[in-house]
């Protein structure tokens, strides 16, 4: 099966789709929520380490 040079493959199309501003904003929101969750979990671990009987 011959590949056509003028059509991008699936990976290139996915990267181009992720490069759109609407999708970049959505990715930024998800990354922000994940980092916030990780920070909260880190604080819980720190508090439980310092004060084991706190929670």
Token pair for residue 52?
């084991």
Q: Per residue in 18-45, pLDDT tens?
A: 788 888 899 899 999 999 999 999 999 9
Does the pTM exceed 0.85?
Answer: no
Q: DSSP assignment, residue 3?
A: P
Q: Per residue in 5-22, pLDDT tens?
A: 666 688 888 878 878 888
Residues near 9 by Cβ (< 8 Å), separated by ≥ 6?
3
Sign of CA dihedral 3, 8, 11, 13: negative
């Amino acid at each position: 099966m011959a590949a056509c040079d003028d059509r991008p493959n699936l990976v290139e199309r996915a990267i181009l789709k992720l490069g759109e501003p609407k999708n970049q904003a959505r990715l930024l929101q998800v990354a922000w929520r994940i980092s916030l969750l990780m920070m909260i979990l880190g604080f819980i671990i720190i508090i439980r380490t310092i004060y084991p009987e706190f929670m």
